[in-house]
Each structure stands twice: as C-alpha cells, then as structure tokens.
Amino acid sequence: MKARTCLVTGAGQGIGKAIAGRLSAAGHRVALTARDADRLDRTASGLPGPALALPGDVTTDVDAVFDAVEQRWGTVDVVVLNAGTASSAPLTGTTDEQWQRALEVNLTAPFRFLRRAVPGMTSAGWGRVVVIASIAAKRGDPYVTAYTASKHGVLGLVRAAAAELAGTGVTVNAVCPGFVDTAMTESTISNITAKTGRSAQEARRILENRQPIGRLITPGEVADAVELCLLSDAITGQSINVDGGAVQS
C-alpha cells in the first residue's frame, strides 16, 4: 500500500503506541493524539517515519486535531480510534458520572472522529477507519456495565457506518481485543487485588486464564489485526477478535 496519512488516538502508550509504530514502519505518515503530551512526544520521537504529535482530549478536540493534520499533510486516509476508558463497579453502584464518561470517551468520541473523517475520505474515494473496541462489545461480564454498554454501542456504530459507506472506497471495522498486556490491564489487576486480597500474580493469572491460549494478548497482536483491516475494500463492517479464542464469533 502506498504511503498514507494516518491518525491514531490514544497513542501515548500501550495498544495505540504499538499501532503507531506499525503504521510508521510500513512507511506511512502518522499523526498521534493523546492527553499526556510527554508520553505522546516520546512515542512520536521513536517512530521511524514522519510523525506529528498533537496533545488533546478526544472528547473536545476533534476538529483541532483534524485541522492540524490536514494543514500539514492533507486528507486523513486512515483513522485508528484507540482512545478509551474503563471503570469497574456493581450495576447499582455505577454512578451517572461513570456512565457518562464511558459513553463520551468510548462511543461519542469515535462517532465524532468518524463523522469528521468521512467527507475527506469519500471525496478521495479511499479511506480506512478502525475502532479498537473490546470483546466486551460481544458479551456481558459483571461489574463493567458502563464499559460494556459503550463498547456494544461502538460496535453498532461501526456496522452501521460500514453499511452506509460500502462502495465508496471507505471501510469501517472494529478490532476487539481480550485482556492485553497494557497499563489498563495492570489497573484491572490492582482492582482485583484490592477487592479480593489475592496477590498481583494470582490476579494476573485469573485474567490470563480467561483466554484459552493462557496468556495476555500483546499490543503487537492487536496491531496485526489493524493492519489486516487496511488491506481490502471487501473487509468492512467486521469485528475482529484478538482474544486467544475467548469469544468465537
């Protein structure tokens, strides 16, 4: 694939950092956004190709991010929507603030980025949008009501947008990881430890055992699936599981 202009949200660490590195290594121009400017700069400086670090909040800075990329490189060809948030609480203990935050970051922000990206992509006759969702988009687990609802919602967004854009040269897909070896999973481990008294090693093993391969997914394995989504106009409206066989769909 020829060199494209790419935008990755939540690119300061973890999955987003791995995806940015993969796209850059493939010869693409990569714009990165995240709230932590220092992490973002470190990620950008480590990329082998052209990089543009744009600190910002995905809930408020959509137009500013796109404007900056377009001024530097023109139309954004590839958008990877990786930024996300998670919290854990019983259903009856989930606050309005937790619910709203999950929807705002995990569902409304991707909608706004997708809406902003589509006109340029359709005008060019080519575009790729990949949302990093979760296997929580496909099943329900206890104590993550807000997170699960937001991820189910974003998968619906992907499917509807893909159907609407079919035939334009623009594809929209989701990648649905299981438990990935990232800071977010470390936070989950800490939460399990605090609530159950188990050691961090025991808590990690619980999450590893949720996946038939018996280990956490690596950020690079999620990046593999993102690369797959860029290959063909025929791959659209899909939700690709990267979970070691936990959810077979």
Write down the domain spans for the chain: 5-178+218-240, 179-216
Q: What is the pTM of this model?
A: 0.96
Cα torsion for 17, 21, 22, 26, to the nearest 10°? 150
d(Cα 44, Cα 30) in Å, to the nearest integer? 8
Q: Would residue 147 show up in a list of annotated catalytic residues for this protein?
A: yes
Query: Which is nearest to 22 in space by CA: 215, 182, 218?
Result: 218
d(Cα 74, Cα 175) in Å, to the nearest integer? 26
Q: Do 10 and 82 meet the contact criterion of CB atoms below 8 Å apart?
A: yes
- For 125-139, what is the mean pLDDT? 98
- The strands making up 78-81's β-sheet, listed across from edge to edge, are 51-53, 29-33, 5-9, 78-81, 127-132, 170-177, 239-242
Is the pLDDT at 195 greater than 90? The verdict is no
Class of domain 5-178+218-240 as given by CATH: alpha beta
pLDDT at 25: 98
Residue 191: band (very low, low, confident or very high) from pLDDT cuts 50, 70, 90 = confident
Q: What average pLDDT is seen over the chain?
A: 96
Q: Do 98 and 139 meet the contact criterion of CB atoms below 8 Å apart?
A: no
Is the pLDDT at 85 greater than 90? The verdict is yes
Query: Which is nearest to 63 in space by CA: 112, 24, 28?
Result: 112
Is the pLDDT at 249 greater than 90? The verdict is no
Contact partners, residue 187, CB within 8 Å, separation at least 6: 86
pLDDT at 80: 98
pLDDT in tens, 157-188: 999 999 999 999 999 999 999 999 998 898 88
Among the listed residues 66, 113, 147, 179, the single catalytic one is: 147
**Half-sphere exposure in the Cβ direction for 33 (13 Å, CA):** 27
**Residue percentage of the chain with pLDDT more than 70:** 100
The amino acid at 92: T
pLDDT in tens, 209-245: 999 999 999 999 999 999 999 999 999 999 999 999 9
- For 145-158, what is the mean pLDDT? 98
pLDDT in tens, 96-126: 999 999 999 999 999 999 999 999 999 999 9
pLDDT at 134: 97
pLDDT at 229: 97
pLDDT at 184: 87
